[in-house]
Amino acid sequence: MEKRWLNGYPSGVPAEIDLNEFASIKDILQKSCARFARLPAYSNMGVTLRYRDIDRLSRDFAAFLQGLGLRKGDRVALMLPNILQYPVALFGVLRAGLVAVNANPLYTARELEHQLSDSGAVAIVIVENFAHTLEKVLDKTPVKTVVMTQIGDLFPWPKRLLVNFAVKRLKKLVPAWRIPGAIPFAGALKSGAGGALTEPPLGHDDLAFLQYTGGTTGVAKGAMLTHGNMVANLQQASAWIGPFTKQAEEVVITALPLYHIFSLTANCLTFMKAGGCNVLITNPRDLAGFVRELGKVRFTIITGVNTLFNALLNAPGFDRLDFSALKFSLGGGMAVQRAVAENWRKTTGAALIEAYGLTETSPAVCINPLDLKDYNGSIGLPISSTELSIRNDDNRELGIGQDQVGEICVRGPQVMRGYWNRPDETAKVMTPDGFLKTGDLGYMDERGYIRIVDRKKDMILVSGFNVYPNEIEDVVALHPGVLEVAAVGVPDERSGEAVKVVVVKKDPGLSAEALIEHCRQHLTGYKVPRRVEFRSELPKTNVGKILRRMLRDG
């Protein structure tokens, strides 16, 4: 395999990373907390935790978890938005030798039950805004300990009191819940502060995360990401941004949820390693509030998905912000559109750089050079210590050029160990020579840049989040008025793609509105169909398999 992409690397970016510099994420954290102790690490709503605060609080939380009797390898779920409690809880989990299971706070009860049960999580840290969902399924899961927090719990008094009162009483964002025995987050920290912590030795083979994804097909599966996988991707990301950033100086805007692998690695962990400050945006959908927060800090980097950048560009007051410190913006999770990239540069003066990755690769695979001047329509070059191969259905490597389209396959130290308890699904995505089949179709040009042309599978990408037709179809089929259903992705100006369902009625009186309301009861918001089409029959193969492709194509 000729690594032609190495010729396009920016000056100072190495071909290979030193994987053995750090043994684990815990190792990186402790070295950063010692080196950058007095510097700001994470900021939210004007309140900042310094690296020494993160060190102390995560140590206390780790001691609390060990005090519960949790042992190395036990799973702990984190169901939190972008608030200060997230890095404290995450690093506490990892320091105790436990495995973090990130859970979307917007999960429905059905989705949450599946993830908690499948992962075998024995504890969960959850913000009380979503406790009512957990209450519905708690007794059906292996979870024994619930740690409950409020948005402002790590804020100083009286801001803590005012924020929690406003969220609960004025904005009424906390539905009633009752979980006997739930432990307050502050109480957990207090308990841990008085307890001993025995930090177990951790190495590259130890599991760090069960990061749930649909993989390339089917229901959500836990990608097993080891400390070695994550250390590798942090080294790779650090090598790529190193020539363009300065240690202990960067301020990164973190608006994408930290439970998503992109934000988790690119923001929370990469800039922790570099001694930077993550400015956590709890509710980026409040664009007016988001713009106000941006106006309060001299930020140097911002990450996001195409729809987020587009929303900001159209938000009143954004174009009047001070962008003089902005070095670059990184777009991932979905394709960056040319119009958005060009408008972004015109407005901010900084390039919107497209990157590509997957949950299964921790996530970074390709990134465009950060000194790129103009939008190029590419997902970039394979990063350090990464091999990329374009292959046909017979696993044969293809050549170079637009006429050599095949499946993008990746090999490198950031590729997951496999899917949790699903060796069958793991076997489907791994080649005999150790490459991960991404499910994306693309080609490599003569300079080594990778271009995606389509997705091999039927996955739908809504604002950077994977939506899988099988799950949507299962939910729609539960409605007694439905005879047959197929789910497909259709273009959408706001979210890139939206879910459309094509339905054959069993009940002639079934309406699109009733079907959508049914879906809202069982699916997270971004998975709910935006469009419903009724037909008398669905196109099928001779063995009865529904042809989704024909529905997408018209």
Three-class secondary structure of residue 498 per DSSP: strand
Residue 509 has phi, psi (to 5 degrees) of: -85, 0
State the Cα–Cα distance between residues 369 and 475, nearest whole angstrom. 42
Q: Which amino acid would we find at residue 153?
A: D
Quick one: CA torsion of 323, 357, 261, 198, rounded to 10 degrees?
Answer: -110
Nearest to 393 by CA among 448, 431, 445, 426: 431
> Which tokens sit at 94?
């990892």
- Retrieve residue 513's tokens: 């509105």
For tokens 């836990």, the residue is: 222
- In this predicted structure, what is the pLDDT of residue 310? 87
Identify the helix (H) or strand (E) that includes residue 164.
helix 159-165
Tell me how crowded residue 177 is: count the other CB atoms within 10 A of its CB: 17
Residue among 245, 272, 253, 270 nearest 40 (CA): 272
Beta bridge partners of 533: 502
User: Which domains are delineated in the chain?
Assistant: 26-202 (3.40.50.980), 460-552 (3.30.300.30)
Comparing C-alpha atoms, which of 496, 54, 466, 29 is closest to residue 261? 466
Q: Are 122 and 167 in contact (CB under 8 A)?
A: no
Give the residue among 193, 362, 360 at the shortest CA–CA distance from 262.
Answer: 362
Q: Which residues, in sequence order, are CB contacts of 423 under 8 Å at separation 6+?
A: none
Strand pairing class (301-304; 328-331) = parallel
pLDDT of residue 542: 47
User: Angle at CA 186, nearest 5°, toward 28 and 208?
Assistant: 30
For 70, 379, 448, 523, the CA distances from 387, given in Å and listed in that order, are 38, 15, 11, 37
| Alpha carbon distance 375, 48 (integer Å) | 35
- Cα 399 to Cα 391: distance, rounded to the nearest angstrom: 9
What's the pLDDT at 215? 42
- Residues pairing with 466 in the sheet: 461
DSSP classification of residue 9 = P
- 419: phi then psi, degrees, rounded to nearest 5: -90, 135
pLDDT at 340: 87
> In this structure, are residues 21 and 33 in contact, taking their beta carbons and an 8 Å threshold?
no
Give the C-alpha separation, 479 to 457, whole Å: 26
β-pairing, 482-492 vs 496-505, is antiparallel
Q: Looking at residue 553, what is its pLDDT?
A: 74
- Interhelix angle for 287-294 vs 306-313, to 10°? 80
Write out the E strands in 188-275. Answer: 207-213, 221-226, 251-254
* Whether 279 contacts 469, CB under 8 Å: no
Q: Dihedral angle at the C-alpha atoms of 60, 94, 90, 121, nearest 10 degrees?
A: -110
Beta strands 450-455 and 436-444: pairing type? antiparallel
| Sign of the torsion angle spanned by Cα atoms 5, 7, 9, 13 | positive
CB 78 within 8 A of CB 123: no
Which two tokens mark 97? 């030798």
Assigned token pair, 392:
């046909």
**Burial bucket for residue 431 (CB in 10 Å: 0-12, 13-18, 19+):** middle
What's the pLDDT score for residue 58? Answer: 98
Helix locations, 401-468, DSSP H: 423-429
Pairing, β 123-127 against β 145-149: parallel
Query: 179 exposed, middle or buried (CB, 10 Å; 0-12, 13-18, 19+)?
Result: middle
**pLDDT of res. 540:** 78
pLDDT tens series, the chain, 554 aa: 789 999 999 999 999 999 999 999 999 999 999 999 999 999 999 999 999 999 999 999 999 999 999 999 999 999 999 999 999 999 999 999 999 999 999 899 999 999 999 999 999 999 999 999 999 999 999 999 999 999 999 999 999 999 999 999 999 999 999 999 999 999 999 999 999 999 999 999 999 999 998 643 457 899 999 999 999 999 999 999 999 999 999 999 999 999 999 999 999 999 999 999 999 999 998 999 999 999 999 999 999 988 899 889 999 999 999 999 999 999 998 778 888 899 999 999 999 999 999 999 999 999 999 999 889 989 999 999 999 999 999 999 999 999 998 999 999 999 999 999 999 999 999 999 999 999 988 999 999 999 987 667 777 889 988 788 878 988 998 899 998 899 999 999 889 999 999 999 999 999 999 999 999 999 999 999 999 999 999 887 544 567 888 898 76
Q: Which amino acid is at 71?
A: R
